[in-house]
């Protein structure tokens, strides 16, 4: 009693079987009542409704963008247990059970009862494992999901067989991310980077690294400031008495004007 909240204990006491369970001091029966109250939040619900609600919760549950893998697994297991608690067995299709029997039975045509039950458990476990992968966050694991589907299409079944293996894949999976860089005026270049599934890594682009090359004797590039200057620039000096115009050369290094050189006349 002390381990339950008041709200939970009220649900347990209102159950129709509580008086009988208490009279018999049935510990197992009491635990079932507590579990029923935890999962359903009610004590008087139609069993079919409870089973259907449990399946809806499981099949609509998705890992959000901010949900950690450990939290996702914990919630997923709670929902699968809720489905089982309500008496629903999912993923145990006869054809899948038969496939499992072929793997484990000594006599595939006449499996023992233990072998048949084990095959059912294996079929259900794989069903849960694949569901865990497929309902994982698409932003982090979309490429993984597509890879598994494409591999199966190509005749190679890489789907995990257990929930433990599925979770291990999610934790250790690393995806490839392409980043575009403006390599030239005529196209784009890409590099592929491997990142952990729990991290969003965007490399910083150094816009001042190299820059654009100069055109002719023009600017040398934007990477490290202006390079060798603007080459030779000819400035026209006013006309003299004869109506001729003289060109002045500007020193490319110092910017000084050499008045005594290259007095080319323009008629």
The 3-state secondary structure of 33-100 reads HHHHHHHHCCCCCCHHHHHHHHHHHHHHCCCCCCCCHHHHHHHHHHHHHHHHHCCCCCCCCHHHHHHH
193: phi then psi, degrees, rounded to nearest 5 = -125, 140
Closest alpha carbon to 39 in 73, 87, 2, 6: 87
CA distance 76 to 161: 16
Closest alpha carbon to 10 in 49, 42, 40, 32: 42
Residue-wise pLDDT tens digits, 220-262: 445 554 544 444 444 444 444 444 444 444 444 444 444 444 4
Neighbouring residues of 96: CB distance < 8 A, sequence distance ≥ 6: 123, 126, 127
pLDDT at 211: 46
Q: Look up residue 63 and give its two tokens.
A: 């890992």
pLDDT at 29 over 50: yes
pTM confidence score: 0.59
Neighbouring residues of 244: CB distance < 8 A, sequence distance ≥ 6: 265, 266, 267
* DSSP E strand stretches across the chain: 174-181, 189-196, 234-237, 245-250, 257-258, 265-266
Residue-wise pLDDT tens digits, 41-95: 665 667 788 889 889 999 999 999 999 999 999 999 989 988 988 888 999 989 9
């Amino acid at each position: 009693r002390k381990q339950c909240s008041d709200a939970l204990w009220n649900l347990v006491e209102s159950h129709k079987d509580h008086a009988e369970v208490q009279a018999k001091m049935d510990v197992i029966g009491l635990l079932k009542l507590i579990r029923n109250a935890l999962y359903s939040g009610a004590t008087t619900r139609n069993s079919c409704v409870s089973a259907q609600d449990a399946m809806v919760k499981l099949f609509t549950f998705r890992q959000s963008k901010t949900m950690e893998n450990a939290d996702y697994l914990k919630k997923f297991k709670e929902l699968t247990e809720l489905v089982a608690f309500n008496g629903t067995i999912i993923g145990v299709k006869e054809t899948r059970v038969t496939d499992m029997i072929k793997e484990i039975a000594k006599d595939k045509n006449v499996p023992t009862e233990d072998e048949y039950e084990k095959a059912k458990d294996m079929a259900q476990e794989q069903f849960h494992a694949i569901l865990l992968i497929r309902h994982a966050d698409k932003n982090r694991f979309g490429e993984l999901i597509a890879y598994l589907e494409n591999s199966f299409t190509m005749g190679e079944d890489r789907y995990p067989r257990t929930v433990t293996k599925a979770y291990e894949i999610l934790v250790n999976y690393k995806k490839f991310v392409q980043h575009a860089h403006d390599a030239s005026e005529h196209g784009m270049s890409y590099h592929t980077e491997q990142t952990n599934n729990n991290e969003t890594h965007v490399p910083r682009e150094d816009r001042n690294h190299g820059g654009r090359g100069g055109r002719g004797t023009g600017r040398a590039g934007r990477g490290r400031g202006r390079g060798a200057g603007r080459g030779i620039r000819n400035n026209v000096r006013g006309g003299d008495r004869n109506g001729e115009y003289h060109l002045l050369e500007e020193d490319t290094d110092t910017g000084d004007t050499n008045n005594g050189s290259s007095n080319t006349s323009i008629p």
